[in-house]
Structure 1
Amino acid sequence: MTASSDQQTNRYSAFMGIALLGFAATLAVLNPSTWIGSLAVPFTDGQWAGLYGKNFDKTLALTQPAKDAFGTLSYIGFREGRPGVLVGSDGWLFTDEEMARLDTPRVAFADKISFIRAAKAKAEAAGTQVIVALIPAKLRVYDDKAGRYGFMPKLAPVYTETVTNLQGRGVPVVDLLGPFVENRSKTQLFLRTDTHWTPQGAEIAAREVAKSVMKAGLLAGEPASGEFVLKEGSPKEHRGDLLAFLPLLDVAGPKAPAPDFIRTGEAVERPPAGTDAGDALLGEDTLPVALVGSSYSFDRRWQFEDQLKVALRTDILNAAQEGQGPFKPMADYLASAEFREKPPRLVIWEIPERYLWAAARMPRL
């Protein structure tokens, strides 16, 4: 986003916010229900202010339709949503977390780089290898769908520099940017109305992870636990999490973003020939691979865990968490009794790029 468009957006948001607040407050003050009950107590008594305040808040809540109307007008007239979403073109929505608010992202991601290196060292001390799957920002991959929002120039070198930085310090990183850019016009890699990737995007990432794992010999000598096949289901409608930032009324009609559709699927295991499925399961003491990361890995709808099982031909322990980003789940897993007692051979650590520059207090290892 350019400085002029940014200022224009800020002025518009401020105007709409003030107008909405004034409109809602006027309705609340003029509504008789705001005053009912509060007039029965002495004006000089503190009870009056408290009771009037409760009635005011209650009446203000009744103005939600007015807020939705403003939201609809904002979207249709100005292609704006509530703070949190960037309205692109062709029905594409993006999280504003992919726009850095810091003058220099290096201040934010220096701590993340240090944390990644420290986590790898702690895992290696227990005999576990770590490989990072760095997911490029949706706004970077689909910059052509960003409308008036362009990927910020100061963030342009972040992905490549992070990969180079980590690899130069002995941290294996799966570079997904190239494969994603190569395939973005062939298949949809991210959901239009959601912050997450599609199962197709997860499939490409899983294949790239498997290639890197085999090339680096991170599972050398580890027998495959069986063949996994993805059992596909029918597509299902999905209303993305970014739609929550667009309070659209029915009048928006066809101008509202259309919902996404997700191809359902689940990895089903076929044990090695001559092995009973029950015996194979009973003989399995420690899963050789653990998956750690954000909701990109935790949510089974995206199928990253399932695609990794197919690509690596092994079962996987999923230690990802939802709503915690990629760093806290790693700290929690390394501190868990499960890791201490049964450390896996390999940890696949999924990290969305946007968390590199997000301001956050890093957890302790």
Structure 2
Amino acid sequence: MTRPLRKLYVALFLGVLSLLLLWSLRGVLSYQAPNQFSVLDGNLATNFESHYDKQFPIKQLGTNVWAALDYVLFNEGRPGVVIGQHDWLYSAEEFNPVADGRQHQRDNLALIRGVREQLAQRNVRLLLAIVPAKARLYPEYLGDQRISSQRADLYQRFHREVRNADIAAPDLLASLQAEKSRGQLFLRTDTHWTPLGADLVARQLSETVNRSLALNGEPQAFVTEATQQQPLLGDLTSFLPLAPLFERLLPEPDQLQQYQTRAADQAGGADALFADSDIPVALVGTSYSANPNWNFAGALRQHLQRDLSNHAEDGQGPIVPMLKYLQSDEFADAPPQLLIWEFPERYLPMASDLDDFDPDWIAELKNDSRQQRLATTASRCPPYP
């Protein structure tokens, strides 16, 4: 910013701050305490807060104004979003370093190896789907934004570690990079992939499975049909609080073509049951797998030609849904033949909230992984093909 522009920004800030102060005093002076109240139980503070909020409608104006100034003058949003070029938005989790990230990475890798051992005890094969960061697949829109050194080679390090642990994990980044000319693979204003990106990943995973594993049951035909196209203002726009006053400054919404997959011998319908009662595949993961907008589970059904049970969850990261599934009655009573674990790379150096799990069990998982790693190193086992 030039010096005059900085002075203008400061003047605008002080001016709006003065207006907000005067308006807030009006709300304070007009307050009348209830006839009966107690200072000790907090009801008076709650009552005052409710009155103050009702008398302070300019709060929305202040939020919108400063969001607009940050967006227009500095090309910035609220913490959590990185603004690229041509209305491309990225999650800040793909860029910023994490405190104690190296330790979290070691812990998560130990849990991944421990999960593999738990599955192996039930004769379940694990296929890890490491979802590359959007910024890694579309660096051409980053402009001057830079990824921290902690995350710069995270995808490659993640792959190297799991391959050394003899865990199957195809290179999805290379596959997606090779198909970028076919269409947009990640949404411009959202963290997630498009249905096309999800379908390409599902196809790559299915090819990996078919080369090394004969799934139980007879192949079953699934068909995927386009349903509707609608504008989608992605999740990353929530870090740009410009609406309603400056809504026109927001990036143009993505155009999301939605799809639905069904068994070929069904009449259709979102609630129809799949015909094959023997489900050899389970899917665990994040909102990349749980959200029906991307139809990832449907694309897997179509390419694998098998039904699957989907245990992915929104907003929990990849670790917690997996641990829940391992402790579920479904896994105990009817373990699948194959488990596909969708795991976005950005979560590897991040801590998960494991307070709902027995710490002794978590420690046992990590300890099992260390013992297996020593055994694998001693036997010089080659990486999984």
Measured against the shorter chain, the TM-score band is: 0.7 to 0.9
Aligned equivalent of 2:25: 30
Aligned equivalent of 2:216: 222
Per the TM alignment, residue 156 of structure 1 is displaced from its structure 2 partner at its CA by 2.2
* Cα separation, partners in 2 of 1:152 and 1:35, compared to 1, 3 Å: same
Aligned equivalent of 2:298: 306
Does the aligned pair in 1 maintain the 2:24–2:56 contact within 8 Å?
A: no
Aligned equivalent of 1:63: 59
For 1:304 and 1:224, locate their aligned partners in 2 and report how far apart those are by CA, in whole Å.
22
Work out which of the residue numbers 245, 264, 267 in structure 2 matches 1:270.
264
Per the TM alignment, residue 249 of structure 1 is displaced from its structure 2 partner at its CA by 4.2
Aligned equivalent of 1:239: 233
Per the TM alignment, residue 251 of structure 1 is displaced from its structure 2 partner at its CA by 6.2
Per the TM alignment, residue 154 of structure 1 is displaced from its structure 2 partner at its CA by 3.3
**How do residues 150-189 of structure 1 correspond to structure 2 at under 5 angstroms?**
150-189=146-185
The one-letter amino acid paired with 2:326 is L
For 1:204 and 1:320, locate their aligned partners in 2 and report how far apart those are by CA, in whole Å.
19
Task: Provide the alpha-carbon RMSD of the alignment.
Answer: 3.2
For 2:314 and 2:74, locate their aligned partners in 1 and report how far apart those are by CA, in whole Å.
33
- Same amino acid, percent of matched pairs: 32
The one-letter amino acid paired with 2:231 is E
Aligned equivalent of 1:332: 324
* Cα separation, partners in 2 of 1:297 and 1:52, compared to 1, 3 Å: closer
For 2:196 and 2:329, locate their aligned partners in 1 and report how far apart those are by CA, in whole Å.
34
Does the aligned pair in 2 maintain the 1:225–1:315 contact within 8 Å?
A: no
Per the TM alignment, residue 279 of structure 1 is displaced from its structure 2 partner at its CA by 12
Aligned equivalent of 2:197: 201
Does the aligned pair in 2 maintain the 1:20–1:67 contact within 8 Å?
A: no
Moved more, 253-262 or 240-249: 253-262
Does the aligned pair in 1 maintain the 2:274–2:307 contact within 8 Å?
A: no
Work out which of the residue numbers 279, 285, 292 in structure 2 matches 1:287.
279
* Cα separation, partners in 2 of 1:104 and 1:259, compared to 1, 3 Å: same
Does the aligned pair in 1 maintain the 2:170–2:205 contact within 8 Å?
A: yes
For 1:257 and 1:285, locate their aligned partners in 2 and report how far apart those are by CA, in whole Å.
45
* Cα separation, partners in 2 of 1:24 and 1:335, compared to 1, 3 Å: farther
Per the TM alignment, residue 225 of structure 1 is displaced from its structure 2 partner at its CA by 4.0
Per the TM alignment, residue 233 of structure 1 is displaced from its structure 2 partner at its CA by 2.4
Moved more, 220-229 or 187-196: 220-229
Does the aligned pair in 2 maintain the 1:100–1:357 contact within 8 Å?
A: no
Work out which of the residue numbers 317, 320, 325 in structure 1 matches 2:309.
317
Per the TM alignment, residue 149 of structure 1 is displaced from its structure 2 partner at its CA by 1.2
Aligned equivalent of 1:353: 345
For 2:180 and 2:246, locate their aligned partners in 1 and report how far apart those are by CA, in whole Å.
29
> How many residues in Structure 1 have an aligned counterpart in Structure 2?
340
Q: Secondary structure at the residue paired with 1:212? A: helix
| TM-score normalised by length of structure 2 | 0.79
* Cα separation, partners in 2 of 1:238 and 1:53, compared to 1, 3 Å: closer
Does the aligned pair in 1 maintain the 2:215–2:337 contact within 8 Å?
A: no
The gaps in structure 2 that reach 5 residues or longer are 267-271, 366-385
The gaps in structure 1 that reach 5 residues or longer are 6-10, 273-277
For 1:258 and 1:170, locate their aligned partners in 2 and report how far apart those are by CA, in whole Å.
44
Does the aligned pair in 1 maintain the 2:189–2:236 contact within 8 Å?
A: yes
For 2:322 and 2:16, locate their aligned partners in 1 and report how far apart those are by CA, in whole Å.
42
Aligned equivalent of 1:8: none
Moved more, 77-86 or 346-355: 77-86
For 1:227 and 1:20, locate their aligned partners in 2 and report how far apart those are by CA, in whole Å.
65
Aligned equivalent of 1:72: 68
| TM-score normalised by length of structure 1 | 0.83
